[in-house]
Amino acid sequence: MSYFLIVVIVLVALLVISSVRVLNEYERAVMFTLGRFTGIRGPGLILLWPVIQRMNKVDLRVIVLNVPKQDIITRDNVSVKVNAVVYFRIVDPSKAIIQVANAWEATSQVAQTTLRSVLGQHEMDDLLSQRDKLNADIQRILDENTEAWGIKVANVELKDVDLDETMVRAMARQAEAERNRRAKVINAEGERQAAQTLVEAARALAQQPSAMQLRYLQTLADIAHDKSQLIIFPLPLDLIGPLLNRGSTPPTS
């Protein structure tokens, strides 16, 4: 009789131990009693009725999902390979267990199809210059598609955009042509501003003849610092005109 009592006590102890569950702060238990959903429990200590109850544990932390590279043809018929990273978390554990068989795999498949669909509607230049907008569009569409599964897509980031060698060389030539165009435009703008400044300076000097003479003397002073042995410079008539006029004037009696 004592052995039977010991066996019973051991079996009861095993049943109690097997019915005890401890969940972390970031975990929740989706409870099923005789196959029917009966609520969400946790975190902390949880007791299950053996055989009658079972639970599915759900992690509520942010999950980082790597979307593999997808072959995409852009709107301007450029073939590229693009991969991305999706950050999502489960906000409704019951939907994540009841509405979808594998929330991670379902989100990954939707992310791949959404990536191809959204990027295929844009040109190649948009993939390189408007990543923030594309990330926001993909995130919004993913969030709408996964809402029924109790999933919240927090962010989407495009990682790499791989091009073939022919397209890389073509883009390099295009970038070089753009740099040359900008250089010519800047050079032409500088010439225009310089010409306009010279015209304004000429008008100012024309209004004051004495200023022209002072400018001429300043130029001579600058030339005098040259190490050349021989300096030839023109002598403007307006500078010596007064002297010539004085010499030609007859003396008065």
Going along the chain from its start, the domains and CATH numbers come out as: 12-58 (no CATH), 63-163 (3.30.479.30)
Binning pLDDT at 50, 70 and 90, where does residue 30 land?
very high
Of 30, 28, 114, the residue nearest 65 (C-alpha): 114
What is d(CA 4, CA 16) in angstroms, rounded to the nearest whole number? 18
- Whether the pLDDT of residue 243 is over 90: the answer is no
Look at 132 and 245; give whichever has higher pLDDT. 132
Residues 6+ apart with CB under 8 A from 97: 30, 56, 58
The whole-number average pLDDT for the span 11-30 is 83
pLDDT of residue 249: 53
Binning pLDDT at 50, 70 and 90, where does residue 105 land?
very high
DSSP class of residue 225 equals T
Torsion 236-210-220-202 (CA) sign: negative
Binning pLDDT at 50, 70 and 90, where does residue 228 land?
low
What is d(CA 190, CA 184) in angstroms, rounded to the nearest whole number? 10
User: Which tokens is 65 given?
Assistant: 């999902």
The whole-number average pLDDT for the span 123-131 is 84
Torsion 29-31-35-38 (CA) sign: negative
- Whether the pLDDT of residue 207 is over 90: the answer is no
Binning pLDDT at 50, 70 and 90, where does residue 222 land?
low
Look at 59 and 197; give whichever has higher pLDDT. 59
pLDDT of residue 253: 44
pLDDT of residue 114: 93
- Whether the pLDDT of residue 89 is over 70: the answer is yes
The H-or-E segment that residue 248 falls in is helix 237-248
pLDDT of residue 238: 57
Look at 12 and 29; give whichever has higher pLDDT. 29
What is d(CA 24, CA 33) in angstroms, rounded to the nearest whole number? 22
Asked whether 78 and 167 are in contact (CB, 8 A), the reply is yes
